[in-house]
């Protein structure tokens, strides 16, 4: 590991317990408008979990005694289940992805939702949380928001956590994060070794200053987390990045083929940033299922679009002041 990274780990890695809520509330009051916090949950067919996440955030972090979070916004990507209703009943503001910036046709993908969420949130600090988490703990929010309230030089904070793999009724304590270990971590270590200190580089729980997010391009799909780390390093420097231990992350695991599609999108995101200009001969991934005794191919597109920095979107610049 680079000496710079070892030093960074000592200075920019924390535990959620390092900053109790009373300290965060005092820092938020002192920061004024710069301390406002928006929490965004991108959601697609997450009726089983999204409501509980919203309820915990509102119960622990949005009361008169603990007004740490100013708004919780669920951006629904076209759910076919009751995600929108469950989230609204739990107290979230629910916005349909396709209703945001309608002049730009929406495409499928997590990064697309996160990019559009900047137009419907007002916080100076934006905290992203995946909507499929189970046994959710509000430290996933307060922990990663904390350094942004107390450390003026920090601009982006990732959550780090244990990630057990639950499959077939068995639990492997550290078996989750397969794409991280097989794709993202090797890419970062080989090509961006200054980012090798991140424990969960692809984790969906992170917070950042709006002034950083609005300058970044957003890969529309699964490459958004990797792209955001690499681009933030280039724009703000390693010392502006940090990570906080928030415990254990329980969530729904995807099958091997879904992980393959995720890996392809992440590789494409890295390739673009390595080459400056990357030409994809065939932006698609072919996978195979066994059916009737033979292997049947299915081909899936790899995300090739990125949305521009929000500062380049006229509607963002002309929105009413918070």
Q: pLDDT tens digits for 107-116?
A: 999 999 999 9
Q: Average pLDDT of the chain?
A: 90
Whether the pLDDT of residue 69 is over 80: the answer is yes
pLDDT at 278 over 60: no
Residue 304: pLDDT band by 50, 70, 90 thresholds? Answer: confident
DSSP SS3 for 79: coil
Side-chain-side CA neighbours of 79 within 13 Å: the count stands at 23
In the predicted model, is pLDDT for residue 280 greater than 80? no
- Position 17 scores a pLDDT of 95
Report, as an integer, the average pLDDT of 198-210: 94
Residues with Cβ within 8 Å of residue 195, at least 6 apart in sequence: 188, 201, 229, 230, 233, 238
Per residue in 80-138, pLDDT tens? Answer: 999 999 999 999 999 999 999 999 999 999 999 999 999 999 999 999 999 999 999 99
Would you place residue 293 in the very low, low, confident or very high pLDDT band (cuts 50, 70, 90)?
Answer: confident
Task: Assess contact for 92 and 72: CB atoms under 8 A.
Answer: yes
pLDDT, average across residues 153-182: 75
Write down the pLDDT at residue 259: 86
- For residue 168, the model assigns a pLDDT of 58
Residues paired with residue 37 on neighbouring β-strands, in sequence order = 125
Percent of the chain with pLDDT over 90: 68
| pLDDT above 60 for 58 | yes
Q: State the pTM of this model.
A: 0.88
Q: Is 196 helix (H, G, I), strand (E, B) or coil?
A: coil
- Cα distance between residue 216 and residue 112, in whole Å: 13
Cα separation values, 294 from 12, 128, 288, 290, 308, Å: 52, 42, 9, 5, 43
Half-sphere exposure of 214 (CA within 13 A, CB side): 20
Per residue in 132-147, pLDDT tens? Answer: 999 999 999 999 999 9
Q: Give 126-188 as a DSSP string.
A: EEE--TTEES--THHHHHHHHHHHH-TT--EEEEEEE--EEETTEEETT---HHIIIIIHHHH
What pLDDT is stored for residue 180 in this prediction?
A: 85
Separation of alpha carbons 139 and 136, rounded Å = 9
Which DSSP state fits 67?
B
| Tens-digit pLDDT profile for residues 214-235 | 999 999 999 999 999 999 999 9
């Amino acid at each position: 590991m680079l000496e710079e990274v070892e030093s960074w780990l000592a200075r920019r890695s924390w535990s959620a317990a390092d900053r109790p809520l009373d300290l965060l509330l005092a820092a938020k009051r002192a920061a004024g408008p710069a301390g406002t916090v928006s929490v965004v949950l991108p959601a697609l067919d997450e009726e089983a979990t999204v409501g509980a996440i919203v309820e915990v955030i509102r119960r622990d972090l949005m009361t008169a005694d603990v007004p740490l979070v100013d708004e919780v916004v669920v951006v629904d990507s076209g759910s076919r289940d009751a995600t929108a209703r469950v989230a609204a009943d739990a107290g979230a503001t629910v916005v349909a992805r396709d209703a945001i910036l309608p002049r730009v046709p929406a495409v499928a993908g997590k990064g697309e939702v996160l990019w559009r969420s900047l137009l419907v949130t007002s916080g100076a600090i934006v905290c992203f949380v995946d909507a499929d988490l189970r046994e959710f703990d509000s430290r996933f929010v307060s922990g990663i928001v904390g350094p942004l309230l107390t450390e003026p030089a920090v601009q982006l904070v990732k959550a780090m956590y244990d990630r057990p793999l639950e499959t077939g009724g068995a639990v492997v304590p550290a078996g989750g994060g397969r794409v991280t270990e097989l794709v993202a971590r090797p890419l970062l270590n080989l090509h961006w070794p200054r980012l090798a200190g991140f424990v969960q580089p692809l984790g969906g729980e992170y917070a950042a200053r709006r002034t950083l997010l609005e300058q970044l391009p957003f890969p529309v799909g699964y490459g958004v987390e990797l792209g955001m780390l690499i681009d933030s390093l280039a724009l703000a420097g390693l010392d502006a990045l940090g990570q906080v231990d928030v415990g254990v992350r329980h969530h729904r695991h995807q099958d091997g083929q879904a992980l393959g599609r995720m890996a392809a999108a992440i590789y494409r995101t890295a390739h673009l940033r390595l080459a400056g200009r990357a030409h994809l001969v065939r932006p698609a991934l072919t996978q195979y299922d066994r059916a009737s005794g033979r292997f049947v191919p299915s081909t899936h597109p790899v995300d090739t679009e990125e949305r521009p920095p929000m500062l380049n979107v006229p509607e963002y610049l002309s929105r009413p002041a918070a």
